[in-house]
Amino acid sequence: MSDLKRLRVSVSEQLLLGFDGAGERQLNLPVATARNGTGQLNGSECTPLGRHRIRAKIGADAPLNAVFVGRRQTGEVYSEQLASQHPGRDWILTRILWLCGNESGFNRGGDVDTMRRYIYLHGAPDSHPMQIPSSHGCIKLRNADIIALFDRVNVGTEVEICE
């Protein structure tokens, strides 16, 4: 059973905060959001704002640095050597928390649908700097942090993304 009932991602601070059922802050993690800033539109490579929820948890038993493509493990484990063989690859590692928008017309449905945009909270290479906007829309975390977070939330946990 999870102990975090609500998450908030602050784009301006590049932080993810986790709250228990009483509203007390229990977690404070550095993240990296989109290099293109915030926005709702499909294809924008922006991080979507508003109220969301965790739609799916993917990779529960995956090893540290497991590589995912299309939400499936490739069988690869990230290393600097693998990265040098695939220089343009967008690395999605270790765990995925797939988000779904809760606000029709804003982050749910049509050209603004967070889930259809494949927006996740996910692990990134440990060499990747946090607190510097650099993703293609997702919210990147350190691998140890995504594992800890993954184990403390359920499908349905609220996620607010704000400026």
Q: Where are the domains of the chain?
A: 6-162
CA distance linking residue 75 with residue 139, whole number of Å: 23
| pLDDT for res 153 | 98
Instruction: Give, for all 163 residues of the chain, the pLDDT tens digit.
Output: 579 999 999 999 999 999 999 999 999 999 999 999 999 999 999 999 999 999 999 999 999 999 999 999 999 999 999 999 999 899 999 999 999 999 999 999 999 999 999 999 999 999 999 999 999 999 999 999 999 999 999 999 999 999 9
Is the sign of the CA dihedral 68, 20, 29, 111 positive or negative?
A: positive
CB 99 within 8 A of CB 159: yes
State the pLDDT at residue 2: 75
pLDDT of residue 157: 98
CATH superfamily of the domain spanning 6-162: L,D-transpeptidase catalytic domain-like (2.40.440.10)
Q: Report whether 19 contacts 7 (CB < 8 A).
A: yes
Question: Is residue 20 within 8 Å of 79, Cβ to Cβ?
Answer: no
Compute how many other C-beta atoms are within 10 angstroms of the C-beta atom of residue 139.
26
| pLDDT of amino acid 1 | 54
